[in-house]
Amino acid sequence: MSIKSIKYLFVGLGVMLLTLGSVFAQSKKILQFSGLITSMGSDLPVGFVTIKNTSFNNQTYMSNNEGYFSFVAHVGDIIEFSSVGFDPVTYTIPEVEGDKYTASVKMRALVIELPAVTPFPWASYEDYLADFMAMGGDDPIATARRNLSPEAIAALARVVPRSAEEIQTFNSLQRHQYMQNKNINQRMNNPFLNPFNWYQFINSIKKGDYSREKLKY
């Protein structure tokens, strides 16, 4: 069998299947399918819902702004309802008496958690950069002098806790001052360690204040 014959065979099979599908669809009962689409839990109408008949060439319809729809379909057709912000709903038309069927379709609203955002008053980074550059500011030298002023340092010292290194340095300084004061006090209390007393003693010896004649009683 040639390739050309195989192509004709597949085309014939395709036409046959389409014909059988059309005959089968025509053999099904035709009815007017109508209904109202509302939101589950609130019964508020859901408007402009896309309605697709997946059993009949994916024919597509749309509900009005009040959620109402009406079109011709067949018994057993699978109808798909979809809308932005809602879970899709699939509905199968049941076997009914008569040529009309009305359905109440409930759609569940989607709950999507979006990541947190921080709003800024600038529409773009360029706008922010322009405002930032236009802010200007004080002279850096004046700012440094103000931050290093005794008043600023004293204010920071009242609220900023001391570090371990600062506490150790302060304790070392206190010990050093204590030792200096202790040595000074010892020299002042001991006359032999006072250089002024030695100076007066040496001058007295030179003057003869401690001669034997003067020391006689």
The model's pLDDT over 107-119, given as tens digits with 9 standing for 90+, comes to: 999 988 888 888 8
- CB contact at 8 A, 38 and 46: yes
- CB contact at 8 A, 85 and 109: yes
The pLDDT tens digits for 160-183 are 887 888 888 888 888 888 777 766
Question: Where is average pLDDT lowest: 11-20, 95-104, 198-207?
Answer: 11-20
What are the boundaries of each domain within the chain?
A: 28-107, 141-207
CATH assignment of 28-107? 2.60.40.1120
Q: Which H/E stretch holds residue 208?
A: none
Predicted pLDDT at 46? 95
Q: Is the pTM of this model over 0.75?
A: no
